[in-house]
Amino acid sequence: MKTFTQFESHELANTLIEKALGFKNNPLQSKDKGQGKRLGLIFLNPSLRTRVSTQLAATNLGVDSFVLNMDKESWALEMQDGALMNKNKVEHIKDAAAVLGGYFDMLAIRAFPTLTNKQEDTEDFIINQFIKYAGIPVISLESAIRHPLQSLADMVTIRENFKEKRKPKVVLTWAPHIKSIPHAVANSFSEWALGCGHELTITHPVGYELDEQFTKGATIEYDQKKALQDADFVYVKNWSAFNPYGKILKVDENWLLKENKLGTNAKAKIMHCLPVRRNLELSDEMLDGERSLVQVQAKNRIYAAQAVLDSML
C-alpha cells in the first residue's frame, strides 16, 4: 500500500478491518516489525486524538514517530507551482515535502480545507501536492475532503457491534454547530459505509446536500425522524453547506439528536467522531447512555492506524 487517503475496495477495507480487530485483541503482536522505521506526522492543522492514536499505533509496531506542526502561521507553505515567493510563505511544498520524504520512511499528513476555494479543496490539492513531491508512502490524517482513518475506525466499530447476517441499516444525520465545519468526516463515512455494502440513509436540512461523488447509492431523506426508523447505527455529524461552499445556512437546533427521536427503536447505537458539542449536536443522555459507541470509536482509531501502518511496512 503506497498511499492511504480514501476507500479503495471492499476487499482492502475488509483486510484492514480484520487486521485492526486482531491488533485490538493483541496490540503488541508485531512490536518489532517496524524497528528502525520512522514515521513523520505533519500537521498543517491542530490535532490531539488523531496525533496520539497514530503515535500509539506506531509505537505498538516499533516505529519511531516524529511530530511536525506546520500551522499556517508559523511555517506557511507555498502550494502553487511557479510562484514568485516574495510574500509571507517561507517554503515551497516541493522542497518541504522532498526533504521530509528523504528523512522518513512514511509520512502522515493533516491538511484541512480552507473552505474558501471550492475547486482546490475538491481536488484535495494540498495532500496531493505532498504525495507528488514526498516520494514515499503517505497516510491522510484528514484532508480537505476525506478522513479515512476515522472511517476505517468507524467500520471496525460497526463490525464489532453488529452480529446479524443482514446488512446493517446505517443513518448519517446532520447536527447543529456554531462553526463552519469541513465535509471530510461525512464524505468519508458515506464513502466507506457504501463501499462496505451497508445500507446508508443520509438525513439533513434542505441545502446541506453533500458532494454527490461520496453519496451515490445512499438514500437522502430530509425527515430526520423518518430516517432514524429501524436504524442499527446513527452517525451524528455537522457539516457546512457544499453549496454555497463552506457556509452555515442556519443553526437549526431542532436537529439535535436526543433520545425521544429514536422512538421505539431500542437497538440503535449512536456514533460520533469526537470532539462533540454536547447538547448542541447530541444530548448528554445519549452520549452517557448505553447506546453510545463514541468511546469505542475513539479507541479503535489506534487499531485502524495500526492496521494501515502495518500494511505499509
C-alpha cell recorded at residue 158: 460497526
The distance of closest approach from Cβ of residue 226 to its own copies in the complex, given in angstroms and rounded to an integer, is 26
Annotated binding-site residue numbers: 47-50, 75, 110, 142, 147-150, 177, 237, 273-274, 277, 301
When the beta carbons of 81 and 230 are compared against its own copies, the nearer one is: 81
* Smallest distance from its own copies to CB 64, Å: 6
C-beta closer to its own copies: residue 12 or 115: 115
Q: Are 142 and 150 in contact (CB under 8 A)?
A: yes
64/211 with CB nearer its own copies: 64
CB of 97 to its own copies, least distance (A): 11
Which segments are annotated as binding site for carbamoyl phosphate?
47-50, 75, 110, 147-150, 273-274, 301
Report d(CA 256, CA 272) in Å as an integer: 13
Nearer to its own copies, 212 or 284 (CB): 284
Which residues lie near its own copies (CB under 8 A)? 28, 31, 36, 38, 40, 46, 48-49, 52-53, 55-56, 59, 64, 66, 68, 70, 74-75, 78, 81-87, 90-92, 94-96, 98-100, 102-103, 178, 251, 274-280, 284, 287-288, 294-295, 298-299, 302
Angle (CA) 214 276 183, round 5°: 20
Q: Contact, 219 vs 200, CB < 8 A? A: yes
Rounded distance, CA 220 to CA 68, Å? 40
- Nearest approach, Cβ of residue 301 and its own copies (Å): 9
For its own copies, the closer of residues 12 and 248 by Cβ is 248
Q: Please, which residue, 140 or 283, has the CB nearer to its own copies?
A: 283
CA–CA gap between residue 135 and residue 172 (Å, rounded): 36
Number of C-beta neighbours around residue 24 at 10 A: 18
Q: Tell me how far, at minimum, the Cβ of 91 lies from its own copies, in Å.
A: 4
Residue 107 beta carbon to its own copies: minimum distance, rounded to whole angstroms = 12
In the complex, minimum distance from the CB of residue 61 to its own copies, in angstroms, rounded to a whole number: 13
Which residues belong to the annotated binding site for N(2)-succinyl-L-ornithine?
142, 177, 237, 277
Is the CB of 55 or the CB of 240 nearer to its own copies? 55
Going from the C-alpha of 204 to that of each of 72, 175, 198, 236, the distances in angstroms are 32, 8, 19, 10
